[in-house]
A and B are shown apart, each in its own frame.
Chain A
Amino acid sequence: MKRFKAMVMAGVLALSLVLTACGAGGSGSSGGSGGLIKVGVINNPPSESGYREANVKDMEAVFSEANGYELKTFYSLKNDEQLQAAQGFITEGVDYLLISAAETTGWDEVLTKAKEAGIKVFLFDRMIDVDESLYEAAVVSDMAKEGETAVQWLLDQKLDVYNVIHIQGAMGSDAQIGRTGALDAQFANGTMNLVVQQTATWDEAEAKKIVESVINSGADFNVIYAENDGMAKGAVAALDEAGITHGVNGKVIVMGFDCNRWALRELLAGNWNYDGQCSPFQAQIISDIIQGKTTISSKIIINEEKGFDATTLTQNDIDTYGLGE
């Protein structure tokens, strides 16, 4: 029995040696394949939203083999899985690590390791709470500015009174913090009244329930500020069932974010009033920096953002700036 155990142990040991040798050989050979720049992208899954889908497609299109890149990707909504994948990419030895983190915290250690390994890190779409020295550049959407643009638009409507239902995204995400900030400032200084502020964690059906409960409580409201298009659609479904008019010339102003094409069509039809965009196209900017085509003066590069008003939106805007279908 003992001998058998020893044999098994020896076998396992030998096998693992062979395997690691193979692994090392494998990565060695791929490293020599035509001098492609190895890029590891850590992102949220494309299924998260129309934004993410466009973002992932953009990344895959720009960091293609034709453009001289070898692309490795990992998609997860969970920060710890993303961290593990980042570790994996560092061990595999990529040249560049591009990260759009699920959460803003917990990245210090991994990014320090990347730096020690000589891997250059770019952040895209979302910022991370780390020292600036740990990354080359961050190409981000200024979510706070996006929120401010939207709230400024709302103030420009010069309503007599602002009774706002505020439906938030997943708490703690960059998009939620940015889109909430500007509105919270208005609640704080009293220019707008908060009817209810709830998170629907990007869930359309949850958003509908929240609005329904407000309608049932009999509270008066004239603005729905939903932090993405899906939740705005959920909110509108509740309004429709209750017979409350919305959109251009309606009782309730509906605001969404992300600029999905279907949402912009709702705007064009006058069912909604405003849609804020946060540009998902960062890949080209990063590629230009990697290839030395642009030099950067600041580590933080702000992507251009847009906001659309239902009264001025054109079909052309939908075709150019809309996401998804």
Chain B
Amino acid sequence: MSKNKKKIFSGGLGQLTIPVVAIALLVIFNLIRDPSFFGVDLAHNNDGNIVLSGNLISIINGASELAILAMGMTLVTAACGGQDISVGAAAAIAGSVFVKVLKTSPEISGGKVLLAFICACIVAMIFGSFNGTLVAIFKIQPMIATLILYTCGRSIAYWINGGATPTLSSPIITAIGSFIPGIPIPTPVLIVIAMAIVFKLLFKFTALELFTQSVGINQSAARLNGINSTFIKLLSFIILGVCVAVSGSIGVSRLGLINHETLLLDVEMDTILAVAIGGNNLGGGKFKIGGSIIGAYVIQMLTITLYAMKVSSTDVKAYKAIVIILLVVIGSPVVKEKFGKFMSKLLENRSKETVKGA
């Protein structure tokens, strides 16, 4: 009995304690503030489809790009012990390529959208492997290596479309960024689910998860055991590249417009935060992609909550920072250890008391 209790107090959900507690606190806070906050309605949108709407849908839908990026970022973090800060800029490049291909002729067909997405994927993977090469082969600190693309990425995106902010209008693009006729769930949410399944299958049928963890925990030991750590690191960046292309394409499709200056602006910081809130060790090693996904929803829920409270959007970042500092500090190993010790002491005292009483 006491053993079980101990386990729960020192983090019964293991790594997922912090993100789950955070999301639970936000839900409780919102329910107290406004019981109807999470109300979900069915409504007709302007295309005549029946769709779900409400704050909950806004949160889950709005966090899609972030959640997808967080999946890839988790892998990079685990393998390299560092983060890619160029995801926003790379997404702007991928989005620009996506639009560029679609703009080659006025008609937009399903096949062309697929082609555009594949092109965006290839370009994002090339940029991913550029980052990966710097990190894995030249052993440059990930943050410094990706700083290069972070700095020049949006300029590259600018060149792709010649500085214009081209717009797309097509039912297919609307279906990707908003709703597929007949399905009331926003398409970006479906894409997140699909991506999560792909990762799950990847981990189930390959040894990628194990290899990534062992490279992250101890590179030399992994190498001595026959794991090509350079390749694993490079691969993590390439996989992140795919995630970047997916979220860039979603971002573009949402509005039918590419603005390389604002597309997924500052998303890299939110992505790293999502990984951190997810309880992943930012120094590499063990990881849980599920944690990062929950982390992404925590961040989005926080933003939407602040908007619903009519907090000025200039102040939103400051409030977000406060909450995130709290979360990260509470999740830090030092606090966890102290808390664990405190709890076990408490339990010990109590059991002593019961012994005395008996």
Contacts and interface: CB of A to CB of B under 8 A. Distances in A.
Nearest to B251: A205
A36 interface: no
Contact of B308 (A50, A53, A217, A243): A217
Contacts of A50: 164-165
B167 interface: yes
B354 interface: no
Interface stretch (A84-92, A111-119, A196-204, A281-289): A196-204
A210 B307 contact: yes
Nearest to B158: A47
A43 B174 CA distance: 35
Interface residues of A, number: 42
A171 B315 CA distance: 12
Interface stretch (A64-72, A122-130, A232-240, A290-298): A232-240
A209 B178 CA distance: 13
B164 A53 contact: yes
Given A171-B314, A237-B255, A240-B47, A209 B167 contact: no
A22 interface: no
A244 B46 CA distance: 7
A242 B45 contact: yes
A108 B177 CA distance: 47
A212 B58 contact: yes
Interface residues of B, number: 43
Interface stretch (B119-127, B128-136, B256-264): B256-264
Contacts of A171: 314
Contacts, number: 111
Most buried by A among B167, B177, B178, B256: B167
Contact of A204 (B44, B58, B257): B257
A242 B178 CA distance: 11
A245 to B, nearest CB: 7
B261 A47 contact: yes
B313 interface: yes
Given A230-B262, A244-B46, A245-B46, A199 B313 contact: yes
Interface string A282-325: 00000000000000000000000000000000000000000011
A241 B254 CA distance: 11
A110 interface: no
A233 B308 contact: no
B310 interface: yes
A287 B177 CA distance: 46
Nearest to A242: B53
A46 to B, nearest CB: 5
B53 A215 contact: yes
A201 B261 CA distance: 11
Nearest to B62: A209
Interface string A204-220: 11101110110111000
B313 A233 contact: no
A54 to B, nearest CB: 10
Contacts of A201: 262, 313
A47 B58 contact: no
A180 B158 CA distance: 29
A213 B300 CA distance: 12
B163 interface: yes
A260 interface: yes
**Which of B53, B166, B264 is the most central at the interface, judged by chain A CB atoms within 10 Å of its CB?**
B53
Contacts of A206: 262, 313
Interface in A42-60: 45-50, 53, 56
B43 interface: yes
B154 interface: yes
A230 B257 contact: yes
8 contacts: A47-B158, A53-B164, A198-B312, A209-B303, A210-B313, A213-B304, A237-B255, A243-B46
Interface of B: 43-47, 51, 53-55, 58, 62, 154-155, 158, 163-167, 177-179, 186, 251, 254-257, 259-265, 303-304, 307-308, 310, 312-314
